[in-house]
Chain A
Amino acid sequence: MSLNDKILDTMDRIRPFPQVVVKVLHLLEDPDIPASRIMEVVRYDPVITMRLLQVCNSALFGLKRRVESLQQAMIILGSQAMMRLIVAFGALDLLKDPLPGYGLERGELLDHSVACATLSQSLLKELNFPEDHAVFTGAILHDVGKLVLNEYAGEQYWEISRMVDEEGQSAIEAERAVLGVDHAQIGAQLAQRWNLPQSIVLVILKHHESVSPERDPLAVCLVHLANVMCVQLGIGAGTRGLASRPSQDLVQSLGWSPKKLDACLSAFWCELERARSLLNLPSEGRA
């Protein structure tokens, strides 16, 4: 079997993204959709429903009365936060495995994805842009292609690392040169197979590209920036994550100073701590 066929074969074996969440994401494409419509869909996923109720009944909220319905949960969490939790809970089981091909321990990809989603969301707020669900969801799923390529990036671990260390290539360039395909392309294909909205496929596909607000949707730009900032902090950087190239066009057109980026990081940190506790993730970022 050629490498290409093997990769396609592996793609078939990746556990699918929960159908209920896919339905929710399509409903959210319409910004005027009433939350009650969404709850009718979520009800059909018992795992996600249980996890949402568990969060509401956890010590984080300190409620005296037990929360027993999704309607009550939505009042407590707020509808936007609840949508984000639904997506995150949907991706939880998918993203928690270790990926030795990328030097990521158990839980690290999940933590990286949650961090990236939290930061993308807080950059959106910082820029005063309206809510856009592709930002959070795209960020949660941006590296999903690594699940497929892990095995092959592992086989070619030393060659990919050598190209990064000795030739100064970025991790994604080296991966593409050695495997013929990269985790952004494969992730976008997976998202397509799962029938996710096009806005999310695009975020995944372009998250390492030299994006700019003039050419690309806002969600694409924010996830690109958040990803670079997270690997820079060491969150889910693994073996070669720091060999990432931030888009120069993007930082220039934002017109932010390095100090402004620092301020975003310090604000983001507290939000990440909260997001980790809502999702019941360890505070050190690994399981």
Chain B
Amino acid sequence: MRQRIVGIAEMQVSDDINEVLVTYSLGSCIGVVIYDPEARVGGILHYMLPDSSLDPHKAAEKPAMFADTGIPLLFKTAYGLGLEKRRAKVVLVGGAQVLDDSGYFNIGKRNYAMARKILWKNNVLVDAEDVGGRINRTVFLELATGRTLVKSPGREMREL
């Protein structure tokens, strides 16, 4: 099986059942994983920041950097390969935090809240999630089966 890497502020969509999409080291970033078991189409978005109004110029150039531009792009691109919203399984991973009570370093929390808000507005349910805490996560999506696996250093691989 071939691995295709989704970098930070990137998105990848595939309908190739020989592929595994993988995104490494989600800290405060969120990985949005979508998969349609019937069409066997799936994708991963790895965004960094919640809100593109921060830098519309950057958002135009790198939409996958932000939740509000990246999530619609992920769905739209997957629709192009035959994914249907009503069949899609959606998983959220990441949104971790450092040890901070001041709220200055709460990007993880804000990233997660933004994903929930956008998905809810678009009537998309989240099927599973592994978010928060202080761990670093790597996510794999097997295109053949839709299996979504999460790995953190020093921990067992877990399936969502």
Contacts and interface: CB of A to CB of B under 8 A. Distances in A.
Interface stretch (B70-78, B105-113, B116-124): B105-113
Contacts of A269: 8-9, 48, 62, 65
Contacts of A231: 27, 98
A64 interface: no
Contacts of A248: 100, 102
Interface in B4-31: 5, 7-9, 24-29
Nearest to B135: A242
Contacts of A103: 136, 153-154
Q: Is the interface of B mostly helix, strand, loop or mixed?
A: loop
A234 B111 CA distance: 14
Nearest to A245: B99
A259 B53 CA distance: 11
B97 interface: yes
Interface residues of B, number: 40
A228 B104 CA distance: 11
B158 interface: no
Interface in B124-144: 134-137
B115 interface: no
Given A235-B25, A263-B54, A266-B48, A243 B107 contact: no
B98 A238 contact: no
Contact of A285 (B25, B97, B105, B153): B25
Contacts of A256: 104
A188 to B, nearest CB: 22
B151 to A, nearest CB: 11
Nearest to B53: A259
Contacts of A164: 134
Contacts of B90: none
Given A232-B28, A269-B48, A251 B99 contact: no
B152 to A, nearest CB: 8
Nearest to B55: A266
Contacts of A157: 154
Interface string A10-37: 0000000000000000000000000000
A130 B30 CA distance: 35
Interface in B85-107: 94, 96-100, 102-107
The winner among A103, A228, A235, A284 for most chain B CB atoms within 10 A is A284
B49 interface: yes
Interface in B26-48: 26-29, 48
Contacts of B110: 258
A242 B65 contact: no
A248 B54 CA distance: 24
B147 interface: no
A237 B25 contact: yes
B2 to A, nearest CB: 15
Nearest to A108: B25
A168 B101 CA distance: 13
A90 interface: no
A234 B28 contact: yes
B27 A246 contact: no
A286 B102 CA distance: 32
The winner among A241, A251, A263 for most chain B CB atoms within 10 A is A241
Q: Which 10 A-B pairs have the closest CB atoms?
A: A103-B153, A234-B27, A234-B25, A239-B153, A242-B134, A237-B136, A245-B99, A251-B104, A239-B154, A232-B28
Given A232-B108, A234-B26, A246-B100, 17 more contacts: A103-B153, A233-B27, A233-B28, A233-B29, A234-B136, A248-B102, A258-B107, A258-B110, A261-B104, A261-B107, A266-B65, A269-B48, A283-B7, A284-B7, A284-B24, A285-B25, A286-B24
14 contacts: A228-B98, A233-B29, A234-B8, A242-B27, A242-B134, A248-B100, A251-B102, A251-B105, A258-B107, A265-B107, A266-B65, A267-B55, A269-B48, A284-B24
